[in-house]
Every structure is written in C-alpha cells, then in structure tokens.
Structure 1
Amino acid sequence: MTTVEGSTEVARIDTKAAAKIASQVEDYDALVHDAREAADDEHSMGILASIRAYPKAVFFSVGISLAIVMEGYDTILLGNLFAQPAFQKKYGDCNDAGKCQVSAAWQSGLQNGQLVGNILGLQLVGFLTERIGYRKTMLYSLLFMAAFIFFPFFAPNLPVLLTGQILQGLPWGIYQSLAVSYAADVCPVSLRPILTTYVNLCWVIGQLLASGVLRATVERTDKWAYKLPYGLQWMWIPPIFAVCYFAPESPWWLVRQNRMDEAETSLRRLAGKSHNSRETAQKTVAMIKHTDEMEKAMHTGGGSYFDCFKGTNLRRTEIACVAWLIQTFCGSPLMGSSSYFLEQAGLPTTQAFNLTIGSFSLGALGTMSSWFIMRWAGRRTMYLYGQIIMFTILIVVGSLGASGGSPWAIGGLLLAFTAVYDASVGPACYSIVAEIGSTRLRSRTVVLARNVYNLGSIVVNIINPKMLNPNDWNLGAKSAFVWAGTGALLLVWTYFRLPEPKGRTYGELDLLFEQKVPARKFASTIVDEFGSASQQQHARAMAQAQGEKTSVDEEEKKSGDVTPPVNTLTYNA
C-alpha cells in the first residue's frame, strides 16, 4: 500500500504479501533482518567502495561484455562495406561507367539476415539461461561463433554471405541479452548503471575498430580489402572464452534454482577481501531470496514469456521494449551507415571513412561521460534531454540537405549527433532494460525488448537503404526529417511513461511497479520493502493461522488445487 507522510509518499510491502513470504521460509525474522542489512549496505556504498567490495564482479562483467565488441564490430562493418570499392566490385552490380553498387534490396537482405539470426538467438537464450545458466550458455555460443565466421570470410557470392549473417546472428542474439543480464545480476546498486551501460561502450569500441580497419583497407583493390575485416573477428573469441570459463555463475540464477550454498560461493568469488566473508555472503543471499519470494508472492515472477504480459509485468515489458525501440527510431540508422550516408551527401569516400572514425571516437567519450551524467541526473532525464537535442540536430541536417548545404556541415552535425546519442539514449537504454523487469523474468524481458528492437531494425534496414541509395529514393541528408518525425513521437512517450530506477534495489522496483506508482513519481516515492516490526509479527501470525507452509503449497500444486493469484498491493494516488 502507499501512504502519505507529510508531503512524501511511502510505498510499503503489504502484510498479506509478507505473510506469503513468511510461509515459504523457515525463519522469516532472520531473513528480513539479513536482507535489510544487505540492502542498507548496498545503498551506503558509493562507486569506489562498490569497486573495492566487488572487484572481481567488475572484472568478469567487463570481460563477458566484450562479446558485444564483436557484434558492434560486425554491425558497422557490413553497413560501411557497402561504400568500399573492392566490396562493391566483388558483390555489387556495375554500370557502363564502371561504377558499382550493391543493390538496395541486397543491402536490406544482408542486414536483415543478421537480425533474423538475432531474433532466433534471443529466443534461445531465454530458454538456455534458465536451464543451464549464464556461464555455459555463453561458452557454447562462443564456440558456434568461431565456426560461423568461416561463412563470410570465404563467401564467394551474396547468398553465402547472407547465410553467414544469419548464422552469426544466432550467437550475437545471445550476447545481446546475456551480457547486460549478467552485469545486472552480479554488481551492487551503485555499479549497475556503469556496468550495464559499459555494454554500449563495447558497441562503440567495436564500431570504432571496424571503422579503423575499413579505413586502413579502403584503398586496397584485392580480396583482402573485405576478407581481412571479417577474419579479425576470430581474435576476440579466445580471451572472452577464457573469462567466461573462470567466471562464477549468477547468484540470482542459483537462488532461483534453490542452490543456496553455490550462490553463497559465487558471491564470495565475486567479492574482494572486505566483502568475501561467509556472513556477508549469507546476508546478500538473504536479500536475493527475499526479493525472489516477494516476486512470487506478488505474482510478478513467473517462468514463461506469457508472464511478461500479465499484471504489472505488462507495464515493465512495455518500458523495456519501447526504451530499446527508441534507439532504432531516434536517428541512429544514420550512424550505422555513416560512411555510406556521408558519401551520398557529397563527401569523398576516404573523407567519409575518416569522419566515421571521428564520430565513433566521440561516441566512446560520450558513453564514458554518461557514467557521470547518469549518477547526477538519472536515466529518465538523460533520455528526455538526449531525445530533444537529437531531434533538433536532425531537423537542421534535413534542412541543410533540402537547401543544398555543405557536406562538411552535415558531417559535423552527424558527429554531434553521435556524441549526444552515446551520452544519453545509447548507454542509458542498457541500464533501463536490465533493471526494469522483475528478477525472475529479467532474461525474458531483455529478450522481448531486444527482439522488438530487432523487428524495428528490420523495418529500418528496408527503408534506410532506399532513402540513401541514389538508384532509389535518393533522399540523402533529407532522410533526417523522417527520423525527426519518429523521434518526436517517442519523445512524448518518454515524458509520460519512462520511470526513474536510479538507486533502487530490485525489491524496491518490484513494489513501485506493483503499487502502480506513476512514472513521474518513481524518484520521489520512499519505499519500505521489509515493513515494520509489528508488520513482520502480523505476517508471521497470518502465515501460521493460514497454514501456508511450503510443503502444503507443493501438495496443492501436485493435486492441481492452486488458489488463484490475488493482487495484494495497490497504489492510492
């Protein structure tokens, strides 16, 4: 329920939900005591203290997220190979003047082939991570990636290249979900925004490396102009595989599997000397267990994709999906095909690649600056102001394109757009998507959100080449008007629907959503996820009176006599 104390709204766990938790554990008082201490400890730690407390969690999260470098590398690789003369000559159609172009249809097909693989891979990861865990899923996906790279490397024609894009998309889909979910699971509250948004930095690093490799090979006329960029993907697999092999399993996943001793061991492996005592690990396991039981008590933590669309989970799924969709329709397609876009805007090929390298260098700086901005402003504010600035830039770019403005001015504005994107929407999205779903549905929420992003990208990959290709719509820089229009619509959504998860534990977020707190009140509402001493006593009494013990619940499930879920929490505006 939500009460008003003075001018501040306070959200507390409902007594019935607390009683449900008490019926599922042996010592409810001890669980709440340890969970509260662990939550208070997380809230009290700043960034440096969190790094000292969990240095190995930082190391393993950073190492696993490097898999996203491979995806960022190939994503920018293909879009910009369309502007490389040797690639155009090998796979494109040449006119009488000797000018070669890969058709818009094949450009769309190749880029969408990767997205089809992503979608299939994402559906697999939601199933695999709950069955075999994060670590084994990552190891197997890396082995498959090593085999699938052979397809684009030796592709004699476009159909084989398309096959390679689809197959490589499978493990890329796994990386997209697993890297950010693992980071959200193993790090404390103060490190969550940094380690989840670090995934965006990995994207930028991959894009920057691809741009550098393409710039180095753009003047080559032999097959190594495009084979070398593809072959360099193999170099990432051995170090990432080694990190994953030694990485501890997610303690949240282990608790969901009821493997408490292993969860405790995992936490001690992730912690530094100051936080690797058994007592500290047991308290953190208690916090994880309390959150897990609370989600089950509030019926927000089921185990299937259908549960993502039930009750308050529907709102959480919507936020994750649209937050990621904003990345696609805010104008970012102009960055993904920046070399090709700038070439069509009038810049020489070499200078187009130079500006692309500059844009992704700014993107890396933008992502690192977002760590400081997010700590001060939060995710919601970053999204709002980032979208406003990007909308303004797109209007100016489109106006320059319509009036025949300087290609260098357009290139400069594209640099500014990249810097703003990678200081706001780009990195903040990963933090929002990783935090917003319930812990029991996190991997599935991320999968659904990323697949909405991929479906949006399929639409983008169909229309973007047509807008830029001189043999089709030939809009050039005027295509910025299209993305300004979609960006304006999504800006309205952000203002009314995107909440602020800054500084919240997962249990606190569960209560805020369950009590239907409006998005604009998330930051100001005080949350008490454990309740008062009298409330705990009442919860114990209710549990005993109702006789809701774990063994009884299991017998009910076996007999099929299960009490329908009851929404015990309400929000009174």
Structure 2
Amino acid sequence: MTTSHLNDKEMIDQKLAIETTTSNTKQTPSRQALIEALQAERPSPWSPNLRKLYMFCVIAFLCSSMNGYDGSIFGSLPALESFRDQFGVEKNGAKIGYISAMYTVGGICSLPFSGPACDFRGRRWGTFIGSLIVVACTFLSALSHGVPQFVAGRFFLGFGVNIVRSTSSIWCAEVCPPAYRGIIMAFYNCTYAVGSLIAAGVTRGSAGYAGNKSWQIPLWCQMICPGIVLISVLFFPESPRWLYSHGREEQALEFLAKYHGEGNPSHPLVQLQLQEYREFISLSGSDKRWWDFRDFYKTKAGRWRFINALITGIWGQCSGNAVVTYYLPAMLLTTGITDSNQVLNVNLGYTVVSTVASYLGASQIERMGRRPTIIWTAVACSICFACITIGSGIFDSTQATPAASAGIAFIFIFGFCYNFGMTPLQALYPVEALSYETRGKGVGLTFSIAHGFTLLNQFCFPIALKNIGWYTYIVFIVWDLFEAAVSYFVSVETKGHTLEELSEIFESPNPVRASLQKTI
C-alpha cells in the first residue's frame, strides 16, 4: 500500500472521528448515512478503476481550458500590430470591444441548446457536439480575411464553448465519488488558467513572425484542446445519474460498483447512492422537457438553489477578472506601458501567477469550504482594485515610475487572489447547488447569464477606460464589497455533502444555517 493511499485513509479517519464525536451537532439523515457507509467500508482513492476515471476527468478538464485560452488570447492579440492592421482596431475602444464581445454573445445564444445537449443523449454526446463546434470555428477564425468572418468565428466559438463547459462540468461532478468530488471539481476549472497560459505563451512566441502569422498561429493552436476532447469523449462512461433518470438503473449500478465500490455492487457506498437516486431523481422530471424552467422558481428550494448557482457565475465575471483578462493592454496604458513586447511579457507573467494560484486554491478548497472562500475572495479583490486605483491615479498625476510599478504589482496580486478563490469554484459550485433535474439547463443558464455580465463589461469597460481612465476601477472596489455582503447572507456551504443530500439542505427553513452544521 502506498504512502499516499495511507494518507488519504488517515484523512478520512480524522474527518469521521471529528464528525462522530461532535454530539451536539445535528445530522441530516443522508449525511449520517454517508458517514456510516464510509465507516463500514472505505473505498480506496487509488483503485485501478478510479485511476482510470481520474484519467477521463483530466481529459474533460481540457474543456475549461477552451474558455481560458480565448480570454488570454484576446488579452494579447490587440498588442500585435499585424492584428490591429488586419482588422483595423486599436488597443481599446468600441471596435475591439465589439469583436471581443461576439464570443460572449455566442455563449448567451447557446442557452436554449445547452440544456438539451446535456439531457437528451447524455453528457458525453453534449461534450462531443460542443467540441466539434469549437474545432470548426477555429478554422473560420484563423482563416479570416476581414472583420465579418472573424466576428462570425468568434460568435460560434463562444456558442460551442458554452455547451462543452456545461456538459463536461456536469459529467465530472456526477461521476466523481462523493468523498473526492470537491477537490476533483475544483481542479476542473483550473485548466481555465492552463488554457490562458498556453495562449499567452504561444502569442508571445509568435510575436516575432512577420505578417499575419503572428496572430494566426495562436488561433490555430486554439484547436488543440477541443481536438483531444473530440476524439476521446465517446470512450468515457456515461453519468450514472443520467443513466438512472432514463430508466437504465442496472447500468447505473454497474458504473457505481465499478468505479465507486471497487467492483462490489453491494458496497455500502454504492447502495447508499443508488438509494438516494431512487429517492431524489425523478424519472419524469423537467430535464426531460427542454422548455420547462419552472423548477428554478416555483419552490423556495428551487429559488435558493438557482441564486446560489448564479453567485459564482456572476461574481466570476464581475469581480474585475474579465476586464483584466481581456483588456490588460488597455489597463497597462494607464500605468505607462505601451511597448508590445512589454505588454506580452506582463500578460505571460500574469497568466503564470493566475495558473499557480488556481491550483493552490483547488488543493485547499476542501479545507477552506465554499462559503468562506467566496466571501474572502471578494474582499481581497476589492482591496487589490483599491491599490491599483491609487497606483494608476498617482502615475496619472505625477508620472512617477514607482506608482506605475505598484499598480502593475497589484494587478498581479489581484490575479493571484481571484484565481486562488474564485477559479476553483466556478465549475464546482453551480453543479453542487442545482438538483439533478435542473442541472443541465441550470448550468447552461448560469454560464449564459455570466456571459451577459461579461458582455456588459466588454462593451462598457474599454469605452470607460478610454474616456475616464483609472477612475473606472473605483466601480470594482465597491462592487466586490457588495459581492462579499451578499455572499455572507446567501451562500450555502456545500462541502461534505452528496449531491442528493443537498436537497435536504436547500429544503430546510434556513439553508445557510443548515449547511453550516458540521460536514464530513
């Protein structure tokens, strides 16, 4: 037995010991059942079948990199003179905002299709279709000769990425063993930063090429990750929850036994999950009706779930990260940096910091919990924007180099804080907050609404930055504090619960208070 295996078992033992000795803490029935199942027979986190499942999950993680790649590439392309000449744009202003925003418009327009893509033929086929669209649109963008063709490519690229992110994140959450779902799903969105890092590195490397190659090479490389997913995803096992909801209980049991029960269909954890499927998953739920969104608002629990799912989606786009990612060259203008190579170097450095921070945050998400992470990340982002504002303001008045350097430093610190806390939660939290019946449509709807706020940023921020400069940052100081306040009163802690058990949490009179009871 390996040392890592022993450490994992010791960790579970410690959690169980803490839980079972806390006599004053009330337990929900499902939570107590999960504790008893783990006590009776703990599955090895490194069994051969689970290692195979982890490999599938790592490939699915690449779906998140597609979004990160685009975010970083549009933080770099406007710095290339050949790109600006080809499409007649500046580093900021309405035209570059329009081109950038078409990716987001495509994501919003995918809303009617994301839910059916998840629910109709299964999570795997939805991921396949989304990846195929992304690959096709890469050709369209890279071969563009004018703005209309490039804009069309970006529109359908955003359309496909929103579908593939919705389906793949749901698949990952639904196939993971309950004890390891949190950390696995936290790592899912970290590949957003990996995509950003690849894009920043490729764009920096291609900057030395003459002519259109300098901006076409990064666009062609955008096809790598969706291409890998496209040729791999149909070899994945289907979600056991999707199988059960479509009357294929035997196949769902086979999956649970193989991957969660070390081949034993009578394993307590397998039987517990199957029992929860029978209790909480409807065979005729709204997931079978693509037009039915009533479950999001007709009950108190449904409203609580949807609000919590929206929190990380909206906060993730409105905390300031979207504008830093897409308009870093324009932000650097307010600190006196105009040279293209300097901009690309700063963008690459920022992306490296963001990538490291996201993986550090994901590794600690089970220790920190979802709720405290959301609150304190918003506070940290507000402080960082206050410092960026001060540095940019002093530089604008005095042209003092130290002030500019301080502003740039806090852009990096902001990237670290944001990605440490918010990046791991953006795929994890909505999937946990939503019930099975609403998960497909809900995740797609959450991403589309988040894209709507991104669209607002993309149209308004470059114009505001061009007209009022660093004063624009004050908005984010206030908004991030507002995020922290709302999250304090609304955010439900989902750590340590099975996906089905969360139904009991959200149906309680006070979901926030119920969720803060001791978790495993």
TM-score, with length taken from structure 2: 0.86
Amino acid at match of 2:84: Q
- Conservation of the 8 A alpha-carbon contact between 2:97 and 2:458: yes
Aligned partner of 1:254 in structure 2 is 243
1:456 paired to 2:484: no
**2: distance between equivalents of 1:208 and 1:11?**
43
SS at match of 2:237: coil
Aligned partner of 1:88 in structure 2 is 84
**2: distance between equivalents of 1:446 and 1:250?**
16
1:384 paired to 2:384: no
SS at match of 2:247: coil
**1: distance between equivalents of 2:39 and 2:76?**
44
1:381 Cα deviation from its structure 2 partner: 1.0
**1: distance between equivalents of 2:458 and 2:120?**
34
1:223 Cα deviation from its structure 2 partner: 0.6
Amino acid at match of 1:229: P
Q: 1:341 to 1:427 in 2, by over 3 A?
A: same
Aligned partner of 1:437 in structure 2 is 434
1:222 alignment partner, one of 211, 217, 221? 211
1:242 Cα deviation from its structure 2 partner: 3.0
- Conservation of the 8 A alpha-carbon contact between 1:149 and 1:231: yes
Amino acid at match of 1:50: P
**2: distance between equivalents of 1:12 and 1:526?**
13
1:151 alignment partner, one of 125, 132, 140? 140
**2: distance between equivalents of 1:438 and 1:391?**
32
2:63 alignment partner, one of 44, 55, 67? 67
**Matches for 1:366-381 after TM superposition, within 5 Å:** 366-381=357-372
Aligned partner of 1:187 in structure 2 is 176
**Matches for 1:313-332 after TM superposition, within 5 Å:** 313-332=302-321
1:290 paired to 2:276: yes
1:233 Cα deviation from its structure 2 partner: 1.9
Once the two structures are superposed, residues 230-257 of structure 1 have per-residue CA deviations (whole angstroms, 9 ceiling, x without a partner) of 1112223442223202100000100000
Aligned partner of 1:530 in structure 2 is none
**Matches for 1:554-569 after TM superposition, within 5 Å:** none
Aligned partner of 2:6 in structure 1 is none
- Conservation of the 8 A alpha-carbon contact between 2:75 and 2:325: no
1:102 Cα deviation from its structure 2 partner: 5.8
Q: 1:38 to 1:482 in 2, by over 3 A?
A: closer
1:335 paired to 2:325: yes
**2: distance between equivalents of 1:84 and 1:397?**
25
1:306 alignment partner, one of 273, 279, 294? 294
Q: Which runs of 5+ in 1 are unaligned?
A: 14-34, 94-100, 528-573
1:394 paired to 2:389: no
**2: distance between equivalents of 1:422 and 1:526?**
25
Amino acid at match of 2:88: G
Q: Which piece of structure 1 moves more, 414-423 or 328-337?
A: 328-337
1:520 Cα deviation from its structure 2 partner: 4.1
1:480 paired to 2:466: no
Q: 1:419 to 1:156 in 2, by over 3 A?
A: same
Q: Which piece of structure 1 moves more, 120-129 or 317-326?
A: 120-129
Aligned partner of 1:510 in structure 2 is 503
Aligned partner of 1:98 in structure 2 is none
- Conservation of the 8 A alpha-carbon contact between 2:334 and 2:392: no
**2: distance between equivalents of 1:118 and 1:328?**
13
Aligned partner of 1:543 in structure 2 is none
State the superposition RMSD in angstroms: 2.8
1:519 alignment partner, one of 487, 512, 518? 512
> What is the count of residue pairs matched by the alignment?
486
1:481 Cα deviation from its structure 2 partner: 1.3
Aligned partner of 1:532 in structure 2 is none
- Conservation of the 8 A alpha-carbon contact between 2:376 and 2:484: no
Aligned partner of 2:347 in structure 1 is 356
**Matches for 1:47-58 after TM superposition, within 5 Å:** 49-52=44-47, 54-58=50-54
SS at match of 2:189: helix
Q: 1:182 to 1:443 in 2, by over 3 A?
A: same
**1: distance between equivalents of 2:102 and 2:58?**
28
- Conservation of the 8 A alpha-carbon contact between 1:200 and 1:427: yes
Amino acid at match of 1:496: F
Aligned partner of 2:19 in structure 1 is none
Q: 1:82 to 1:151 in 2, by over 3 A?
A: same
Q: 1:353 to 1:343 in 2, by over 3 A?
A: farther
**1: distance between equivalents of 2:37 and 2:428?**
21
Q: Which runs of 5+ in 2 are unaligned?
A: 1-21
1:278 alignment partner, one of 265, 269, 280? 265
**2: distance between equivalents of 1:425 and 1:144?**
28
Amino acid at match of 2:254: T
Q: 1:56 to 1:216 in 2, by over 3 A?
A: same
**2: distance between equivalents of 1:422 and 1:72?**
12
**1: distance between equivalents of 2:287 and 2:86?**
51
- Conservation of the 8 A alpha-carbon contact between 2:188 and 2:424: yes
SS at match of 1:275: coil
When Rg is computed on C-alpha atoms for both structures, the one with the higher figure is 1
Amino acid at match of 2:108: I
SS at match of 2:45: helix
1:494 paired to 2:487: yes
**2: distance between equivalents of 1:104 and 1:356?**
19
**2: distance between equivalents of 1:292 and 1:328?**
37
**2: distance between equivalents of 1:45 and 1:449?**
37
Amino acid at match of 1:106: K
Amino acid at match of 1:141: G
Q: Which piece of structure 1 moves more, 254-263 or 227-236?
A: 227-236
1:441 Cα deviation from its structure 2 partner: 1.6
1:346 Cα deviation from its structure 2 partner: 1.2
**2: distance between equivalents of 1:120 and 1:267?**
35
- Conservation of the 8 A alpha-carbon contact between 1:82 and 1:340: no
Amino acid at match of 2:71: T
Q: Which piece of structure 1 moves more, 178-187 or 437-446?
A: 437-446
Once the two structures are superposed, residues 111-138 of structure 1 have per-residue CA deviations (whole angstroms, 9 ceiling, x without a partner) of 2211121123343120122110011122
Aligned partner of 1:31 in structure 2 is none
